[in-house]
């Protein structure tokens, strides 16, 4: 089936099988390997991307469902070599260890801040419920989201 998807501002058109998952489309067809395949059962959130401005798990969606949509992956956040404030904050606050969950964490964190520019710690933790991290114990991730919120508007 022919689909047309805008990914990180660039338009793509491909002929895909309906059963191709969005994450596999992004990684294997388009070649954007920033979004990761973690659990593949829609629990871990490593595959989180933005679909028309909403954070979704791209392992639990078919590429054909994204026909006509606009997708943003972690590769689409930095502009002109300058990191997105959330990426910057993850770096500064050491919001990662192995980094595997980080692309999904960053996309979920961006959704929190898009909806709640000044979130409480509870709101941050609630907003990250769909993302699992095996290394950090979450504290540095929460700190990173707080730092990104504090830094925005400076």
Partner 1 sequence: MIPQKFEYTAPKTLDEALLLLAAGAKPLAGGMSLIPMMKLRLAAPEHLVDLGKLKDLNYIRETDGTLHIGATTTHAEIESSPILRKKCPLLAETAAAIGDVQVRNMGTIGGSVAHADPAADYPAALQALEAKLALKGAKSDRIVAAADFFVDAFTTALQPNEIIREVIVPVEAAGTGTSYQKMFHPASGFAIVGIAARVRKKAGNIALVRIGVTGLSNRPYRAATAEKALEGKLGSATEIQNAAALVAKGVDANSDLHASAEYRRHLAVVHAARALMTALARTA
**Strand 70-72 to strand 2-7: parallel, antiparallel, or no bridges (unpaired)?**
parallel
Is 25 in contact with 15 (CB distance < 8 Å)? Answer: no
Contacting residues for 113 by C-beta, under 8 A, at least 6 apart: 86, 119, 145, 148, 149, 152
Q: How many chain residues are in contact with partner 1, going by CB under 8 A?
A: 29
For residue 119, the surrounding DSSP H or E stretch is: none
Kindly state whether residue 29 participates in binding partner 1, applying the rule CB under 8 A. no
Residue ranges of the alpha helices (H) in the chain? 22-24, 85-92, 102-115, 121-127, 139-151
121 binds partner 1 (CB under 8 A): no
Positions in 39-58 near partner 1 (CB under 8 A):
40-43, 45, 48, 51, 54-57
Q: Does 127 bind partner 1 (CB under 8 A)?
A: yes
Measured from the CB atom, the residue of 79 and 138 that comes closer to partner 1 is 138
**Binding of partner 1 by 143 (CB under 8 A):** no
Q: Which is closer to partner 1, CB of 131 or CB of 136?
A: 131
Stretch that binds partner 1, among 6-14, 38-46, 87-95, 140-148 (CB under 8 A): 38-46
Q: Examine residue 133 and tell whether it contacts partner 1 (CB under 8 A).
A: no
List residues bridging with 82 in a β-sheet: 79
Region of 146 (left: φ > 0; alpha: ψ -120 to 50; beta: rest) is alpha
Q: Does 2 bind partner 1 (CB under 8 A)?
A: no
- Binding residues for partner 1 (CB under 8 A): 1, 17-19, 21, 40-43, 45, 48, 51, 54-57, 60-62, 64-65, 67, 108, 111-112, 127, 129-131
């Amino acid at each position: 089936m022919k689909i047309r998807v805008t990914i990180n501002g660039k338009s793509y058109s491909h002929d895909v099988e309906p059963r191709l998952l969005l994450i596999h489309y992004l990684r294997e067809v388009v070649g954007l390997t920033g979004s990761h395949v973690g659990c593949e059962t829609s629990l871990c959130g490593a595959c989180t991307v933005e679909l028309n401005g909403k954070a979704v798990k791209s392992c639990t969606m078919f590429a054909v469902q994204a026909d006509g949509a606009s997708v943003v992956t972690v590769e689409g956040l930095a502009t002109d070599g300058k990191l997105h404030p959330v990426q910057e904050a993850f770096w500064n606050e050491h919001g990662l260890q192995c980094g595997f969950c980080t692309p999904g964490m960053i996309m979920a964190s961006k959704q929190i801040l898009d909806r709640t520019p000044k979130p409480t710690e509870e709101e941050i933790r609630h907003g990250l419920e769909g993302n699992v991290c095996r290394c950090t114990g979450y504290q540095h991730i929460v700190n990173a989201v707080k730092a990104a919120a504090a830094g925005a508007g400076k």
